Structures are given as C-alpha cells and as structure tokens.
Amino acid sequence: MDLDAELDRARDLDVSELADAIESIGFECTRCGACCKGYEGDDGPEPHTATVFPDEVRALQEAGGDDSKGESGTPMEWRDVARPMPYGLVEGDDGPEGETFEWALQTTACGDCRFYEGDDSGRGACQVHEDRPLICETYPFSVALGGTSQPMGEAVDEEGVVRAHECEGLGRDISRADAEELARALKERAVRELREARGVTDAYESVETGPGEVVVHDSEGAKRPDGTRVQ
C-alpha cells in the first residue's frame, strides 16, 4: 500500500461532499453511551476499544486532571488515559506480552471508556468532551481509505468512501452547519490516521520482549505501557 498516495487522497477529500453524505443519512447524538461502553462479544465481554494518537493522549492527560476522575490541576498518568492496543499481544503467565501498534483509550473494570460517566436513566456523557479524540468526535462515521481504520459499516455515498456504523442516533435531522463541522473532523481524522500510519512505518524497529513485557509502536517510536520511550 502506498501510504503517501492515500494521504494525498485524504487531503483531497471535499468537505462539502462529505457533509452531503452525512446530511443524507442524518445524525444526532442521543447520549446512549453505546460507543463508549464495553459490549458482549462472541467470546464474552469485550472492552471499549478506540484508537487514540500520542498527542491526543497528552491532551487528555491535561484535561483529565480537571474533571471528576482526576485530581484538579494535576495531569493524569499516561496509563490512566491510554492502554496498549490489545491486537497482537498474547496472554502470558504474567499478563499480556509482546509488541503491538498504537494506543486505545483506557477502560474501567467493566470495559467502559474511563472518561464515560452514565446516569440512572441509562444516558451519559464524556467527561472530557472538548478534548475527546477524533475517533470519538466523528463517530458513527468513518472514511474508508487504505491505511485508515475501517471498522464494518454501511456505505453512505455512492463511492463508498463515507461509512456509517451502528448507532441509534443515525437517521435524525442534522443541520448543514453541524454536518460540515462533522465532515471537517472526519477529513482531519483520515489525514491524521494516515500520517500516523506512515510515522509508525518509518519509526518501527522490532524490540525483543520478555515475559510480561509489552512494547507499543506509535509514530514517535517504541514505548512502554506507561508512555516512556524504549531506549
């Protein structure tokens, strides 16, 4: 796959056309929390898994220190915000081990995003909404280009570039202004995903791991689960 060519495609995406696709199906967040919670998979409970870029982790470290889940004014620890993406890791005697690529938002013991807070009505909200990652800002939509994350979803436009994923908020009215705002974020996410993928490829060097050791490769190089660099 030519990541540079796909990155050029992402940069050439027309925000107006993306907005047309979003507007054609409609969307309004109902605060159901389904995209923030763990779920029941074929093999049992599965935790919420959402990709987060390294700079987004750092932004959440700062933002999380000012909400109810962190001590006010004190940045959160890296591992309190993000966890190694589980794909590629194996379960050893001392826990997960091996090499993996990228980070996922940290979860609670029940598998929900650690920044999600529900209420008695079954609805909820993100506690760091203004600093939420692009994958959260753009859900339930994604752009299907080579090198971007492409979970299963139904094509919204004729070209199949814009995908809509399962969400009870789909089919609701959306203003043109909101559709364009979402489209701009969707384009930014596609560009960022491809830049990150290229960065991971350029920075990757295999690291030998021992029992209970995990190494995460992102665009900044190899890191431990606490975010520190592997020397």
Res. 69: pLDDT tops 60: no
Task: Tell me the mean pLDDT in the region 105-117.
Answer: 94
Is residue 21, in this structure, part of any structural domain at all? yes
Whether the pLDDT of residue 170 is over 90: the answer is: yes
Number of independent structural domains in the chain: 1
- Confidence tier at 198 by pLDDT (50, 70, 90): very high
Tokens of 67: 């909400």
Residue 230 lies in a domain: no
Judge whether 72 lies within some domain: yes
Model confidence band, residue 160 (pLDDT cutoffs 50, 70, 90): confident
Decide if 223 contacts 229 (C-beta within 8 A): yes
**153 or 224: which carries more pLDDT confidence?**
224
Would residue 231 count as lying in a domain?
Answer: no
Residue 169 in any domain: the answer is yes
pLDDT of residue 68: 45
Q: Are 174 and 27 in contact (CB under 8 A)?
A: yes
How many whole angstroms separate alpha carbon 109 and alpha carbon 102? 21
228 part of a folded domain: no
* 88-116 per-residue burial string, b: 16 or more CB within 10 A, e: under 16: ebeeeeeebbebbbbbbbbbeeeebbbbb
Pairing assessment for the beta strands 103-105 and 82-84 based on DSSP bridges: antiparallel
pLDDT at 162 over 60: yes
Task: Look at 151 and 168; give whichever has higher pLDDT.
Answer: 168
The answer as to whether 229 is a domain residue is no
CA dist 35 and 184 (Å) reads: 20
44 against 100, higher pLDDT: 100
pLDDT band at 115 (very low <50, low <70, confident <90, very high): very high
Q: Is 199 inside a domain boundary?
A: yes
Which range marks the domain in which residue 55 is found?
3-223
State the average pLDDT over residues 54-80. 81
pLDDT at 141 over 60: yes
- By the 8 A CB rule, do 155 and 163 touch? yes
pLDDT in tens, 206-224: 999 889 999 999 999 999 9
Mean pLDDT of 92-96: 88
pTM of the model: 0.89
pLDDT attached to residue 124: 84
Question: Does pLDDT of 44 surpass 80?
Answer: no
Q: Is the per-residue pLDDT at 70 higher than 60?
A: no
